[in-house]
Amino acid sequence: MEKRLKTTPGIRSNLQKRRAEVNLSNLQLTQTSYLQPDRPFPLIIQPVMSGVNLISWAENNKTYIQQELAKHGAILFTGFNIDTPAKFEEFARQVSQSGELFDEYGDLPRDNPGAKVYHSTPYPQDKSILFHNESSHMYRWPMKILFYCVKVAEEDGATPILDCRETYKALDPAIIARFQEKKLMYVRNFIEGLDVSWQSFFQTSNKDRVEEYCRRNNIISEWKGKNHLTTRQICPAIVKHPVTNDMLFFNQLQLHHVSCLEPEIRASMLEMFSENDLPRNVYYGDGSPIEDSLIQEISALYERLAVRFQWHAGDVVMLDNMMAAHARDPFKGTRKILVAMADMITQPEVQS
């Protein structure tokens, strides 16, 4: 016969009290690892048991998350219960220093009108999106950028990331010195029917407001016809991280330089436009051209240092946007990745 343990009312009360005192935030609910044992980039955090609520865990471990992001530059959260865009948005709020998300981004479409998350860059799926630090071609940028996998592509579609500290250290010091001295000039031509429109980018159809925005943020603007706007923005290529003081190679050279276009696309674009009128391009800060050979050297270094990971549905990747550049490999089928940005920082030159 099965024996049952009997407890007195007093013992039963003490057991119930002890159970009530268990605080899940004090338990070891997660474990860490790396994609490659010899490279601590990115850090991987995953639950040690099923049912761990990532949003609640993040709320109880904000300091730990900030410390690990500052150390590693990138964190992949995998195996948790982030299964809706709303949960992703709430998690992004939890890890934001301010508790708010950036919702004035003109280069990406929103997931829905009320949300502060965006679809990833709408670009042909059979083409690569090259390495860049988000908004490094602008007067301000997010310190944090988060990506959430809603749906995995049927084939390929990995996300390559770069440790910008490694890139800085690996580049020839003479190249670093040249970029530090000259900086970069990003040129954009907002031409009707090509790329994002100036109305979407500046989130207004009022030209006076566009001009005021540009004046306020040290952006040179010029109207060339009724709906053709050209902007020129001087930005750094080399920066110091405001928290860790690490030196970083921080820019959008690959995403803007004409030599990074596929040969047939470059030829086609230059048949339609002069180099100065291309939708996007980047020069040295004094307006002189950046050598194709230099961009090729930098691109080869990027490929050598890149770390790639394949997505699983529900994965969230958080990048320190100054420490880590990101890209996208081509893919087949359908794929949905959402984006959130937080903790905006302004270039010292345009801070009032």
CA–CA gap between residue 335 and residue 333 (Å, rounded): 7
CA–CA gap between residue 275 and residue 255 (Å, rounded): 15
CA–CA gap between residue 248 and residue 342 (Å, rounded): 20
Q: Which residues pair with 240 in a beta bridge?
A: 247
The mean of the pLDDT values for the chain is 88
pLDDT score of 14: 45
All domains of the chain, ordered by start, with CATH?
A: 28-350 (3.60.130.10)
Q: Which of 97-106, 110-119, 154-163, 186-195 has the lowest mean pLDDT?
A: 110-119
Q: What is the pLDDT of residues 181-209, one digit of tens each?
A: 999 999 999 987 777 889 988 989 999 99
pLDDT score of 339: 95
Q: Is the pLDDT of residue 63 over 50?
A: yes
pLDDT tier at 106 (50, 70, 90 boundaries)? low
Q: Is the pLDDT of residue 279 over 80?
A: yes
What backbone torsions phi and psi does residue 122 show, to the nearest 5 degrees?
Answer: -75, 95
Q: Is the pLDDT of residue 49 over 70?
A: yes
Give the three-class secondary structure for 300.
helix
Q: What is the CB neighbour count within 10 angstroms for residue 190?
A: 23
And the tokens for 92?
Answer: 């992004």
Q: What is the pLDDT of residues 292-332, one digit of tens each?
A: 999 999 999 999 999 999 999 999 999 999 999 999 999 99
The closest of 96, 103, 141 to 248, measured between CA atoms, is 141
Q: Is the pLDDT of residue 15 over 60?
A: no
| Contact yes or no for 101/88 (Cβ under 8 A) | no
Q: What is the CB neighbour count within 10 angstroms for residue 175?
A: 16
Q: What is the pLDDT of residues 228-262, one digit of tens each?
A: 899 999 999 999 999 999 999 999 999 999 999 99
pLDDT score of 116: 87
Q: Which of 82-91, 94-103, 188-197 has the lowest mean pLDDT?
A: 188-197
pLDDT over 70, % of the chain: 89
pLDDT score of 114: 61
The closest of 350, 328, 322, 318 to 101, measured between CA atoms, is 318
Note the pTM of the prediction, 2 decimals: 0.86
